[in-house]
Structures are given as structure tokens and as C-alpha cells.
Amino acid sequence: MASKSPPIVLVTGFEAFEGDTSNASWEIARALDGWSCEGASIRAVELPCVFGAAIDKLDEALAQGRPELVICLGQASGRTEITPERVAINCDDARIADNAGRRPIDVPVIPGAPSAYFSSLPVKAIVRDLRAAGLPASLSNTAGTFVCNHVFFALMHRLATSRGLAQTRGGFVHVPGLLSLALATQVEALRQLIRTALLVREDVRESGGQIH
């Protein structure tokens, strides 16, 4: 009898953007490719930083196998911590153009879809465990309105509406640029994040609110 394939954790990162030669999100994702955690195998996929095309690439990755978890990463250069995102909104509103020159303004990511989706990752438990390990982390309540949120919303809509993905959990995590936090530290943080996401089903009830 053939042995059963291990569960898959799909981790995505973005290509370099806006003149940069690398993107922390993809550097982290590809460093994790093939790693095993709690019996699951990590598979990394690079997404284009392009509205529409990024969702197409995500759909291709989802179609290759039914992952147990999907963790999409994006670089937020102004941040200095690992920040799991709480909510995705159904709005593309680009301050600048993407890598294909596209700049949608005030249009839905998916017409007719709900206004927002919450992450199905245990975002507060992730922050708790990262901090306990001495790694910088905080909860974020906005993924912006650029390609990161675009992918986050599309992912959560797929998980909510596709019968084949009904048991899959997922979400989005912003990471700092590599000048703000070393790659080795970020890879270590994502290893802990994945472990927590696999083991924790019910999120903890701890304050993650913000005044501003």
C-alpha cells in the first residue's frame, strides 16, 4: 500500500517590486520550501506583484493540491515586526502602480463578494508565541488596499466558497524588509508561526485592539 502524502502548507511570497532587487516575503518563503513541521510539508510559490495575475498564480497553486494551511506573505517596508493580518477587505485602491503598470482605484477585488473576511489563522496565538520566543510580532488590523490585500481577500474568498477547500485555513502575514529585520530571524519567526498555525485551532482571547 502506498504511503499517504504528508499534509501541505502552502506559503506564498511576492516578486521584487518598485525597483528593489529582492522581496523579503519571497526570500522567506523559498527558504522554507521543503521544510517539514508537525508532519506537514511546506511548499513555496512566488506570486507576481500584479493585480489579477497574483490571484491567477494563487489559484494555480491551490489547484496543485489541497493544502491544510495557506499562509500568504507580503513585505511591508515600514514595519519592524512580523504582523499577522486580521481582516481582508473587498477593495483595490492603489496609491501607486503595480509591476504591470496597473493602478485600480476603488474597485472590488471580487465583484459581488462580501465586504470583508477575517483570517482563519490563530492570529493572536501566533503573536503570543512569537513574542514568547523573543521574536518581534504584533497583530495588524489592516492589510492595506494594494496587491497584498488583493491576494489576502481572494484567498479567503476561495476558502469560503470552494467545496474542495472547505477544510483549509489561511491568512496573510506582513513581514518587514530585510534591512529592518534579518532574513534568518524572519525565517525563524515563520517556522514558529507555521507551528502555531498547525497546532492551534481556537484562537486565544487576548487584546489586539488599537486606538488609532
> Which residues make Cβ contacts (< 8 Å) with residue 40, sequence separation at least 6?
6, 7, 8, 9, 68, 69, 194, 198
Query: pTM of the full predicted structure?
Result: 0.95
Whether 46 has a pLDDT exceeding 50, the answer reads yes
What are the counts of helices (DSSP H) followed by strands (DSSP E) for the chain?
A: 5, 10
Amino acid at 73: L
- Residue 211: inside a domain, yes or no? no
Q: With a cut of 80, say whether residue 208 has pLDDT above it.
A: no
Query: Is pLDDT of 211 > 70?
Result: no
126 belongs to a structural domain: yes
Distance CA 51, CA 49 (A): 7
Q: Which residues contact 43 (CB under 8 A, 6 or more apart)?
A: 8, 9, 10, 11, 33, 34, 61, 64, 65, 67
Asked if residue 84 belongs to a domain, the reply is: yes
Grid coordinates representing 28 are: 522567506
* Catalytic-role residue among 37, 81, 148, 150: 148
- Average pLDDT, whole number, for the chain? 95
- Residue range 70-91: average pLDDT? 97
Distance CA 95, CA 103 (A): 7
Spatial contact of 25 and 74, defined as CB atoms under 8 Å apart = yes
Total structural domains within the chain: 1
CB 47 within 8 A of CB 55: no
Q: Respond yes or no: is residue 148 known to be catalytic.
A: yes
- The pLDDT confidence band at residue 212, using thresholds 50, 70 and 90, is very low
Pairing of strands 169-175, 83-84: antiparallel
Q: What residue has cell string 516575503? A: 25
Average confidence (pLDDT) over 63-91: 96
Q: Is 75 inside a domain boundary?
A: yes
Which residues are registered as beta bridge partners of 89? Answer: 116
CA–CA separation, 105 and 96 (whole Å): 10
Question: Mean pLDDT over residues 183-207, rounded?
Answer: 95
Domain membership flag for residue 209: no
When pLDDT is averaged across residues 61-80 and rounded to a whole number, the result is 94
Indicate which CATH number applies to the domain containing 132: 3.40.630.20
Instruction: Answer whether residue 168 is part of any domain.
Output: yes
Q: Is 174 a catalytic residue?
A: yes
Structural domain boundaries, residue 34: 8-199
Out of 27, 68, 81, 85, the active site residue is 85
pLDDT in tens, 129-139: 999 999 999 99
The rounded distance, in Å, linking the Cα atoms of 102 and 52 is 10
Residue 102 lies inside a defined structural domain of this protein? yes
For residue 30, is it within any domain?
yes
